[in-house]
Structure 1
C-alpha cells in the first residue's frame, strides 16, 4: 500500500492574519464598487459611446475630457469648443474646423490634423506625439508646452505666424521656433 502523505497546515502568524483580514475588509467594497459598467468598459468602447453623440456641427460645445478614440471626425466643426483634456488617440481630424478651440491638456497620439483649421486654438500642454499636421492652418495657435515630434515642430515653424487672441502668445514663440 502506498503511504499516504499528510500535509501539515501551519497557522499563520497573528500579524499576518490580521493584515489579510484588514486588506479584505478594505478591498471588498472597492471590488463591489468596480462592478459598475463604466468602470469595466474598455476605453475604446467608451470612446465609441462619445462618438455616437457627435454631430458634424459641434461649434461651441463643452466637450471637456471626452474620448474620441479611433474616431473619424473628418471635416467636423469643433470651432470655439471646449475640448480641454479630451483624448483623440488615432483619430482622423483631417479638414476639421478647430478655430479658437480650447485643446489645453488634450491628448492626440497618432492623430491626423491634415488641412485642419487650428487658427487661434489653444493647445497648451497638449500631447501630440506621432500626430500629423500637413497643410493645417495654425495662425495664432498657442502650442505652449505641447509635446510634438521634432519633424512636425519644424514643419509647423515654417508656416507659424500670428498671436493667439485669447492667450496673447505668439505662435512661433509657443513652438520654440528659431
Structure 2
C-alpha cells in the first residue's frame, strides 16, 4: 500500500505488514494506527505522531524520526538501527525495541529510567550513518 503525500491523517488505519519504506511522510498523523510488521525503512517521518499506535515489529531502520512523537506507541520488536530520533518525544515503550544500534537520540525527550535502560543495553553502540552521532553519546550514557 502506498501512502500518498496528500492529507495528514492516517490515524486508526490498518497498515499491518505494509511496505512504506523510502517514503516522505513528514508531519503525518499515525495515532492509533495498526502497523505491526510494517516497514518504514529509510522513510522521512519528521514530526509524525505515533501516539498509542501499534508499531510492534516495525522496521524503522534508517528512518528520520526527528521531532516525532512515539508517546505510548507499542514498539515491541521494532528495529531502530540507524534511525534518527533527534528531538523525538519518547516514552518507556522505546525500551521495547528489538535493536537500537547506530540510532541517534540527540536531544530526544524521554523519562530518566528509560534513558538508563537504553544505556544499559548491549546494542546501544555504533554511529548513526546519517548524522555521525554515537548512539551512547546521544543517549548521554555515563
Short-chain TM bin = 0.7 to 0.9
Decide which structure has greater helix share: 1
Normalising by structure 2, report the TM-score.
Answer: 0.85
Find the partner of 1:140 among 102, 121, 136: 102
Q: Distance in 2 between matches of 1:104 and 1:70?
A: 20
User: Who wins on radius of gyration, i.e. which is larger?
Assistant: 1
Structure 2 residue runs without a partner (length 5+)? 1-6
Deviation >6 Å, runs of 4+: 52-55
RMSD, aligned α-carbons: 2.1
Question: Do the aligned partners of 1:61 and 1:80 also contact (CA within 8 Å) in 2?
Answer: yes
How many residues are aligned here?
134
Given that residues 83 and 101 in structure 1 are in contact (C-alpha distance below 8 angstroms), is that contact kept between their aligned partners in structure 2? yes
User: Aligned partners of 1:48, 1:84: CA distance in 2, in Å?
Assistant: 16
Which aligned pairs between 1:98-177 and structure 2 lie closer than 5 A? Answer: 98-159=60-121, 160-177=124-141
Higher relative CO (Cα under 8 Å, sequence separation at least 6) belongs to 2
